[in-house]
Amino acid sequence: MISTSDLKRGVRILIDGEPYLVMDVHVQSPSARGASSLSKVKVRNLRTGNVFDKTFRGGDKIDEPNLELRSVQFLYSDGGDYHFMDVESYDQFALAGDELGESTGYLKEGLEGLRSVVFNDQVISVDLPMTVVLEVTETAPAIKGATAQAQTKPATLETGMEIQVPAYLESGERVQVDTRDGRFISRAKD
């Protein structure tokens, strides 16, 4: 069990028998004497992807889910399903695109550094690495003099995902992308 003071972004908790990921925490101080503080938490269900807000009183105890994290590799996609392999046991499993949500935009064949989240002996989701390297397949031509100004332009990546990149980048370049918010970080070092 964890206390409300331990709640922070990225912590996994159990609510009504379902595992949730804490996405944001806002602590509200009491206005009346003797009242306990309130922790307003935005959580995402790890099984369904649903997001909602939950409020806890200061000092409340919250159960932690019994989760197991295993290293996996992304193998391929066959339309609606995404296939992975456990790198230790070589067991393969598939998750539907709607179960993975926006994570599908970062998955390319052979991607390593992923972790499967196992709850009650069933894989319910996949944790991405903090950054991935993807190739820009389509973008407008580079703009002369763009290095002096902070201009961006849309670019389509090899997975089909679209992000904003600096105006000096061209098609065919490899870029490092933050998987938490889909933000361009830098050119990839080969």
The sign of the CA dihedral 74, 102, 166, 178 is negative
pTM of the model: 0.74
Give the SS3 label for residue 148: helix
Contact 170, 156 (CB under 8 A): no
Per DSSP, 146 falls in state G
d(CA 168, CA 131): 21
> At residue 63, does pLDDT exceed 80?
yes
How many CB atoms neighbour CB 167 within 10 A?
19
pLDDT of residue 33: 67
Q: Nearest 5°: CA angle at 37, between 35 and 39?
A: 145
| Domains of the chain as residue ranges with CATH | 2-62 (2.30.30.30), 67-127 (2.40.50.140), 131-187 (2.40.50.140)
- For 20-44, write each residue's pLDDT tens digit: 888 888 888 877 666 778 889 998 8
